Structures are given as C-alpha cells and as structure tokens.
Amino acid sequence: MKIRFDNNKKIFTQHTEGIPYLSFDMLDAFGVPNLFTTRYESFDSESGTGATGLRLCVMNTEDPEEASPLVIANRDRLARQLGSSIECECITDQKHTNYVHVVRPEDLGPEWPAEKPLHRQYVDGMVTDIPDVLLTVFGGDCPSVYIADPVKKAIGLVHAGWRGTLGRIPAVAIAHMTVRFGCDPKDMYAAIGPGICRDCYEMGDEVYAAFAEQWSSADAEMILSRYPDVDSSGREIPGGKYHLDLREANKMTLLRAGIPEDHIAVSNVCTKCNSDIFYSYRSHRMENEQAAMLVNRFKK
C-alpha cells in the first residue's frame, strides 16, 4: 500500500496478511493488539495490488438485516487476527458527541441488527479494565484516539470528529479511567490515528467561534488557520475558509489531561489525501468506514 505520509516519520507497521491493517508501533511495544483498517479486503505485497471494498459497519442507507451478517463476519476476521473475537467486542454508537461509556460485560458481542440500549446510544468513546475486551470505533475522516495504561491494564478508544474534539472527548475518557480504574495519566500512552489533515479540513467561521468560546481565542488561533481564497487566475484573495487541525487539537487535549508528550504518537496520514486507500467523507468516498480496534491485553 503506497500510503502518502505528511513526512517521512512513520509510526505504523503495515500488515498485509489476511485483512490488511496498520498498527501503532508504540502500542505494539506493550503487546497491546491494535489496528486501523483501510479499503482493502486483501493485499499482495509482491505485486502491490489488492482487492478493495472492505465492509465493517452498517451504513445509514442499508438494511441492517441484510448488511449485518457480512460486516459482523469481517469484524470477527479482524478480531481473530488480533487474537480476539467479536464475542469480546464493544462498539460505539457514534453521533459526534463527547460521551464515553464504561464497558460492562453485558455490552459485549455483535450488535446489529439489535437496537442499542439507552445507555449505549450517542456514545462516541469507550473505556474498560476488563481483560481481553475488544473496543471498536468507526470513521471516515475523523481520527480515532487510542489510550492504554500498562500499569492498571486499562484502555480507552474514542471517535474524535470536530464536535467530539471540541468537547475534549479524549480527556473525558482519561477522566473515566482515572476515576473508575485508578489510572494515573502519567502512566498512560495515547495514539491519534489517521484522519483528515489541516490542509484538507475546511470549516466555517462558526467552528472557529465555537473553539474560541469553549477553549480560548489563543487555542483557536493555534488549531484553526484561515487559508486564503484564490481567484480564477490562481491569485490569492481575501475571504478564505478556516482549516482545523484535528491532530494538534487532540494532542493538546491529551497533554492537558496529563499524558506526557513522549507518551503520545500522532498519525501523519490523511484519509482524504489517501482516499484511494481509505474511506473519506470529504472526498465523497464513503462506501463504508474504517475501523479502529484496541484489545485490553498487555504483554507480561
């Protein structure tokens, strides 16, 4: 897979056996099974070609009764590649909130086509200290944030679109882990997965205003930049749109929540720039979504 990185710093390992995926080297070092998928159902490294069209979630336009058997089977294949199974899985509802759910044993197992109970609705993040639980979130251009505490053996995984980022959803997950499991943020490690880059993420003035109000004007200036517009001849003119840096915003949240900077890995892969490899909402290529998976298992 010829993934285009923002620079040459690669924090992933590419896996092409079975269903292809990326894993974070930092989390791999702790023995924590983790992955981020692509469009590929299979990939041959020698020829450099593969089959695309991987389906891992039921889209809003689909009949859950028809679509769920395939997506469940695919997610179970991925889970087994991580040494887990879909019976250990808990997934998010994903409505662009900052709500984080503390996983219960009864939450595990395939969800579709069953209706989620009330306490699982509008949830964009999950945390757990239950051994071997598999957390799964989905996304197109919104990055996933992986959190792992090797001391208390607890993990968290959140879907961080701009609204969740505005609501500091990684910090909400860290707070739950601290209160519920006795974790110390200084012991935690976090990874920000692939997502849309600042150059590709055009936003309206209302988003700048929201960050300036709920964070601060100084923060808004750091994570949002107004890019110049261009005329028909390509010359820059006033009146361009703001662009949001989700990576930097979520890194700021992680740092302010107490995770040391050298415990944070930040993806430099843009899903829109790589829409031939990843599903991307902003590229109008959302036939399905990527999955981020994290298993609560650490090497001994």
Residue 260 lies in a domain: yes
Say which CATH number the domain at 29 has.
3.60.140.10
Q: If you write DSSP's letter for every residue of 191-233 in order, what string do you get?
A: EE-----GGG-EE-HHHHHHHHHHT-HHHHHHHEEEPPEE-TT
Report the amino acid identity of residue 184: D
Residue 212 lies in a domain: no
Residue 216 lies in a domain: no
Residue 286 lies in a domain: yes
Residue 76 lies in a domain: yes
pTM, two decimals, is 0.95
Residue 71 lies in a domain: yes
Residue 73 lies in a domain: yes
With CA atoms as reference, report the closest residue to 267 among 91, 87, 142, 128: 142
Which sign does the torsion angle of CA 179, 258, 160, 162 carry? positive
In the chain, the number of structural domains is 1
Q: Which domain holds residue 263?
A: 12-201+245-295
Instruction: Per-residue pLDDT tens, the chain, 300 aa: give them.
Output: 788 877 667 789 999 999 999 999 999 999 999 999 999 999 998 888 999 999 999 887 888 788 888 999 999 999 999 999 999 999 998 889 999 999 999 999 987 656 777 777 889 999 999 999 999 999 999 999 999 999 999 999 999 999 999 999 999 999 999 999 999 999 999 999 999 999 999 999 999 999 999 999 999 999 999 998 877 777 777 778 999 999 999 999 999 999 999 999 999 999 999 999 999 999 999 999 999 999 999 998
